[in-house]
């Protein structure tokens, strides 16, 4: 349901979640400089398991954004003063320092880093959980999923804050066993990532159960997978009298639409389904693509773009000009609750 690519595209969204630096430690231990506040470019590259040049390229492309979030390059007297205060031992004439916010910022921009993808997924899942979790003041016993999540988090914490740092020290002082220790460290870090993936799966499962039980129609829709959402929309079409309803399910044979059908009076229908996160917007380019698929390729009489979020002003203008019905979050909720779409009558 959550599309992590939004973080790569939207600086506004990245800014809105930059306070959640704790997700860095949930995914992997982040080593800090002696001052306890900063890390170097090499340390950030090691955390995300990318090359330093890759990281520097991202900084160049988004330099102003990183500066706002605590990235700075020290030279001259500033560098000398920092080395005295922090105890950092380096002969470099300049050094780039990263705050935890800047490191999280990098995690939202590094497209191909496995660790960065874990950070983005964890970050967006945490945001969704906050929005959908109902207020519950009662005392209740922990479920098995909650217990497993605590165990996973505890093990990940121990591995990241104790085992990996200990291995780092041993590697620095090791002789013949250095290669074996490095291999062991890689295995431990792989276990960390597996535990994070398990934790994410449990969180989604638990949140889906909570939403279905304790919230209304739109909450239930938010908890659906993309496949469940397409089937839900297909059932709404059948409820409103459509026939020959076919769900393509992302198999590639749909030529740019997710569902086709025929209205009760014989008109052809083409539907695009997007169960985006609520804070996402359907962009103009996405609407243009569907307009071409529905009207040109399918020659549909009725084109529906059904989304669990809002549409940008530009995408709505394109929809109106091209004859596409934009079913936004509010209209989707009403449709799901029993209101029939006007265009299907």
Provide DSSP, 37-48. S-EEHHHHHHHH
Q: What is the pLDDT of residues 307-319, one digit of tens each?
A: 998 888 888 889 9
Identify the CATH class of 226-344: alpha beta
Residue 3 to residue 1: CA distance in whole angstroms = 6
The pTM (predicted TM-score) of the whole model is 0.42
- Estimate the share of the chain in helix, then strand, then coil, as percent rounded to the nearest 5: 60, 10, 30
* DSSP state for residue 134 in the 8-state scheme: P
Low-confidence ranges of the chain (pLDDT < 50): 1-2, 130-150, 152, 207, 209-215, 252-253
pLDDT at 66 (0 to 100): 92
Could you tell me the CA-to-CA distances from 194 to 28, 205, 212, 248, 291 in Å, in that order?
11, 17, 27, 32, 41
pLDDT at 259 (0 to 100): 93
To the nearest 10 degrees (0 to 180), the angle between helices 164-173 and 178-214 is 170
Instruction: Give me the half-sphere count of Cα atoms (radius 13 Å) on the Cβ side of residue 177.
Output: 11
Q: What is the pLDDT of residues 61-108, one digit of tens each?
A: 999 999 988 899 999 888 888 777 666 777 888 999 998 899 999 999
Going along 84-201, which residue ranges are E strands?
94-98
Alpha helices, DSSP H, located in 28-143: 41-48, 52-61, 63-68, 76-86, 100-107, 114-132
pLDDT at 19 (0 to 100): 80
Residue range(s) occupied by CATH 3.40.1350.10 in the chain: 226-344
CB atoms within 10 A of CB 113: 21
Q: φ, ψ for residue 326 (rounded to 5)?
A: -90, 110
pLDDT at 137 (0 to 100): 41
Residue 345 to residue 335: CA distance in whole angstroms = 13
pLDDT at 18 (0 to 100): 82
pLDDT at 310 (0 to 100): 87
Residue at token pair 């609407």: 287
Cβ atoms 333, 217 nearer than 8 A = yes
Closest residue by Cα to residue 167 from 149, 198, 191: 191
Q: For the chain, what is the total number of helices (H) and then of strands (E)?
A: 17, 10
Cβ atoms 222, 332 nearer than 8 A = no
């Amino acid at each position: 349901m959550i599309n992590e690519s939004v973080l790569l595209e939207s600086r506004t969204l990245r800014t809105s979640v930059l306070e959640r630096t704790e997700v860095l430690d949930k995914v992997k231990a982040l080593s800090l400089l002696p001052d306890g506040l900063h890390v170097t470019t090499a340390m950030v590259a090691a955390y995300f398991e990318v090359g330093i040049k890759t990281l520097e390229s991202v900084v160049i492309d988004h330099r102003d954004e990183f500066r706002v979030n605590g990235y700075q390059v020290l030279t001259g007297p500033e560098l000398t003063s920092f080395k005295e205060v922090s105890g950092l031992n380096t002969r470099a004439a300049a050094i780039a320092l990263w705050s935890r916010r800047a490191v999280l910022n990098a995690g939202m921009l590094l497209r191909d880093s496995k660790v960065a993808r874990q950070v983005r997924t964890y970050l967006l899942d945490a945001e969704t959980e906050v929005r959908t979790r109902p207020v519950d003041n009662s005392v209740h016993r922990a479920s098995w999923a909650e217990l497993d999540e605590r165990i996973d988090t505890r093990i990940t914490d121990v591995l990241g804050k104790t085992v990996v740092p200990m291995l780092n020290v041993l590697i620095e002082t090791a002789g013949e066993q250095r290669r074996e220790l490095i291999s062991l460290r890689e295995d431990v870090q792989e276990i960390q990532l597996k535990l994070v993936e398990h934790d994410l799966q449990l969180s989604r499962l638990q949140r889906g159960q909570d939403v279905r039980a304790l919230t209304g129609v739109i909450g239930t829709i938010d908890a659906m997978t993309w496949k469940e959402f397409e089937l839900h929309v297909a059932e709404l079409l059948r409820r409103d009298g459509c026939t020959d309803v076919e769900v393509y399910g992302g198999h590639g044979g749909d030529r740019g639409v997710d569902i086709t059908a025929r209205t009760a009076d014989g008109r052809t229908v083409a539907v695009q389904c997007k169960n985006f996160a609520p804070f996402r917007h359907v962009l103009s380019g996405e609407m243009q693509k569907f307009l071409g698929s529905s009207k040109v390729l399918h020659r549909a009489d009725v084109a529906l773009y059904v989304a669990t979020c809002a549409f940008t002003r530009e995408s709505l203008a394109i929809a109106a000009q091209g004859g596409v019905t934009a079913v936004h979050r509010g209209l989707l909720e009403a449709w799901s609750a029993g209101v029939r779409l006007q265009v299907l009558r």
